[in-house]
Amino acid sequence: MWNKSINLLNEMITKGDKIALIGHFNPDGDSVGSTTGFYNFLQQFSKDSTIIYPSGVPQFLKFLLPEQNVLEYPQDNEKIVNCINDSDLIVCLDFNAFSRTENLKHLLAESKAKKVLIDHHINPDINSFNLVFSDTEVSSTCELLYKILTSMPQIGGDADKLSFATGQSLYVGMMTDTNNYSNSVFPFTLEMASQLLSKGVDKDAIQNKVFGAYSVDRMRLMGYLLYENMVYLPEYNAAFMTLSLEDQKRFNYQKGDNEGFVNLALSIKGVTISAFFTESEEFIRVSLRSKGDISVNIFSGAFFNGGGHKNAAGGKLFIPFNEVPDYFKNAIKEFKKDN
């Protein structure tokens, strides 16, 4: 099955004249790592492709982007429409359904191109794709992509044959999706890390670029949220924080500044569920994390219009922002009755 899929992918790439690599809305390290990792792999074998992001790439991940062939919605909208319509192969990475690309979902659904999915989220929308690589037993899409690329005939299992740029991108996606090796680390995750370090990927430089380049505003925002905003609910082993538009303005909030904040409360002894709510003009973005057997995927599906993984999920709320605390307290109360 695996070999058959690899051969099919190789054939699609060989035949593909115009290849588009699609990231998800609010691209994170795994989204940017997997799209740029695949891009660099294709470059190595003289195949041009274009990366499309449905929203802006946060500053701390921009070092992974190639100098050209990157399109971002909304500013490159016209080029994105043309690129998707002209593509004969579309590869979707790190999301399980077109809806995760928000404004691009109809373009993708209507495209006549062959479509490939490479992803690690549960319940992939397999009917929308000609070829699906879906595995939830990996740290990240980058880990799955590493397995795929090293299985390709051009690489033949020898990680040294991957370009430095590919290795660096895949390492970043794995490192960020495991929250720096603190969750979803599988035995092969460390094998992959080991092989990438052996081939020269500079983990200290990456660590510094990704986790050591925050703005002062972001640090102060984190301090403020932890000290004045976090609500601790020991009776439910839970904690949550809320980031309003007003506070975003106060702390000169930039895209991606809240990255990782949802994990902070899990360091409190006994806390097994953490939630983070970010207000935007259109809706409230929900991030959920848990420890052990508690499934925030189920929690999100039941109360937050979303899903994801067992220990990491997202969602959306369409309620007044000041109602979030009461909404969360009721939701966790209900959830804890059955879980």
- Residue 76 carries which side chain, given as an amino acid letter? D
According to CB under 5 A, which one of 94, 143, 259, 279 is a site residue for Mn ion?
Answer: 94
Neighbours of 28 (CB within 10 A): 20
Q: How far is the CB of 181 from Mn ion (least distance, A)?
A: 15
Shortest Cβ 117–Mn ion spacing (Å): 13
Kindly state the smallest distance separating residue 35's Cβ from Mn ion, in Å.
11
Instruction: State the minimum distance, in angstroms, from the CB of residue 178 to Mn ion.
Output: 10
Take residue 130 and report the two structure tokens written for it. Answer: 């000609």
Nearer to Mn ion, 16 or 124 (CB): 124
Nearer to Mn ion, 136 or 195 (CB): 136
CB of 311 to Mn ion, least distance (A): 12
| Nearest CB to Mn ion, comparing residues 35 and 166 | 35
How many residues touch Mn ion under the rule CB under 5 A: the total is 5
Closer to Mn ion by Cβ: residue 35 or 141: 141
DSSP-assigned states of every residue in 268-326: STT--EEEEEEE-SS-EEEEEEE-TT--HHHHHHHHSS-EE-SSEEEEEE-S-GGGHHH
CB of 140 to Mn ion, least distance (A): 5
* Interface characters, 118-147, with Mn ion (x: CB under 5 A): ----------------------xx------
User: What are the tokens at 55?
Assistant: 């929203």
Nearer to Mn ion, 26 or 141 (CB): 141
The full DSSP string for 188-229 is HHHHHHHHHHHTT--HHHHHHHHHS---HHHHHHHHHIIIII
Which is nearest to 29 in space by CA: 175, 221, 196, 206?
175
177 touching Mn ion, by CB under 5 A: yes
Site string for Mn ion, 195-214 (x = CB under 5 A): --------------------
Nearer to Mn ion, 140 or 295 (CB): 140
Nearer to Mn ion, 276 or 328 (CB): 276
Q: Rounded to the nearest whole angstrom, what is the least distance from the CB of residue 263 to Mn ion in the complex?
A: 15
Residue whose token pair is 């369409």: 318
CA distances to 14, 95, 241, 268, 316 from 287, in Å: 39, 16, 10, 17, 9
Strand partners, 72: 53
CA-based R_g, the chain, Å: 20
Binding residues (CB under 5 A) for Mn ion: these are 30, 94, 140-141, 177
